[in-house]
A and B are shown apart, each in its own frame.
Chain A
Amino acid sequence: MTTSKKIDGASFRDPSGHVFYYRGGLYRQINQEYAPHYKTLLASGLYEKLVKRGWLIPHEEVELPALKEAGVFKYIQPVRLPFISYPYEWSFTQLKEAALTTLRIQRLALRHGLTLKDASAYNLQLYRGKMTLIDTLSFEKVRPGEPWVAYRQFCQHFLAPLALMSRTDVRLQQLQSRYLDGVPLDLAARLLPFRARFNPGLLMHLFVHAKSQRYFGGKQVQVRKYQMRELALQGMIDSLYHTVSKLRWRYEQTEWGDYYTDTNYSADSRENKVTVVRSLLERVKPKTVWDLGANDGTYSQLAAEQASLTLSFDIDPVAVDKAYQTVKAAGQVNLLPLLLDVTNPTASLGWSNEERLSLQDRGPADLVMALALIHHLAISHNVPFINLARFLATLGESLIIEFVPKADSQVKRLLVSRQDIFNDYDEDSFVAAFSRYFEPVKRCPIEGSQRAIYLMKRHAAKP
């Protein structure tokens, strides 16, 4: 038994197999009990079709002779994703795409005598610009007459949050970080407006479903007696697909929605800022970039010219959704917009707090960008420069950061309704604090404004 195999913290529930790390590589172990299902997955042609459509992550079968374990049927090596994101970090459009992809996969699987035994939102990831199923062992051979075993999970992971975001409030998506197996249906039923019952799909799959869970919960029922015809099963998938497709999120105007038309830059300043950022990016040549407070991704796009992966983070769901729609329309595969509150990044969650990783645990990035961000953190959120510097140093090797002085109208606006207690908010203090964690490499003033952009490099050993 080799000691260098490390099982992934999220991959322990399924007796069919698990994901593990070994000698720097990522593998999936398939146990003997799953062999018939795996063979059917391949032999039926479903695997090929799913991979061809970009709906399932491709893999190769490998030999790992050094691992001598009993009960193993096969090892496979799936394509390794550069970054893992979670449903509570996705925008509405991303979650909806994941839901529809799951249903498309299930539809196709049924035609090949297979079915998804899981419909967890965590089984999908953005890969090359598309939501893709990463759990190859989700499939099992259909047992005729049986309803969809993953139905509950689909409704909780996908339908309930999407309905809540669409009909009640987009912020309810964050329930998903509290309820890792999806939003409980009875909770969703209580939070949705009464009118939602007039939508037949929501009525059936949420309200009636929730009632059924409550009514039958704990009762001794011989469920196996009750059969469901295949035609009805297909009809149900169609119904779910139709219901999800029709869920739309109409943006209300958030404070950030108009951000880029609302800034105080003149056109020339803006152009100068773009030139500056681009030149700094060319200097660093990062492979991975995390753009914090990226809004609609304007500067993330610059990073994406250089980096093999750019994450475009923002706190505003509207901004993230718009950014994602831009990325989809352009067919970009190396730019990923995600939701993030820098003042409260998600912690490590789940079993033993090891299933879903915190932001820091999924880093560091080669380069972090913090443009037009610092004043929001330092002033609106009272975070001292030294704390900012320490935090940013945990995220990336290099830093491009914009200092926005008090004289700037955007800062003045933040101070309109509050007392100015920020005696240390000036550029010298900023540089002094950041120098504890970073070495300032270059300072570029922005023409037509009093702002300046710094390039900094993290110290090798943190003080």
Chain B
Amino acid sequence: MRTSLFLLLVWLVLDRPGIAHAYIDPGTGSYLVQVVLSFVFGGAIALKQILQRLRLVKRSSQTKDGEDDDE
């Protein structure tokens, strides 16, 4: 399952854009692209959390202007 999703991702990246008619159900594609890419997002955030624990990266809850997103 994961392999086919990954291969799909590779294809999606490499294939040059053609004409799309986004009025025909863009929802399915938007839903699935998130699922397909989720291993990227999950991996990135897991890595960030590890680095935070090792104190190599600042805490993510500080936004740029210092405002805290947390409680």
Contact = CB atoms under 8 A, between A and B. Distances in A.
Contacts of A218: 24-25, 28
Contacts of B60: 238
Nearest to A189: B17
B6 interface: no
B30 A213 contact: yes
A358 to B, nearest CB: 26
Contacts of A31: none
Contacts, number: 135
Interface residues of A, number: 47
The secondary-structure label for the interface of chain B is helix
Contacts of A204: 37, 40
Given A221-B32, A227-B35, A228-B34, A210 B41 contact: no
A186 B9 contact: no
B52 interface: no
Given A186-B17, A207-B17, A227-B35, A212 B12 contact: yes
Given A216-B29, A235-B42, A239-B44, A210 B34 contact: no
Contact of A213 (B9, B29, B35): B29
A243 to B, nearest CB: 12
Given A185-B22, A217-B24, A217-B26, A223 B31 contact: yes
Interface string A200-236: 0001100111111111111101010011110111111
A230 B29 CA distance: 20
Contacts of A353: none
A184 interface: yes
A107 interface: yes
Nearest to A197: B13
B19 interface: yes
A204 B34 CA distance: 9
Contacts of A148: 34
B64 interface: yes
Contacts of B12: 208, 211-212, 215
Nearest to B46: A231
A151 B30 contact: yes
Contacts of B39: 232
Contacts of B36: 212
A37 B46 CA distance: 30
Contacts of A107: 69
Contact of B17 (A211, A219, A227): A211
B31 A104 contact: no
Interface in B48-71: 48, 60, 63-64, 67, 69-71
Nearest to A192: B17
Nearest to A152: B30
9 contacts: A148-B34, A155-B30, A184-B22, A212-B33, A217-B22, A229-B42, A235-B42, A236-B38, A238-B45
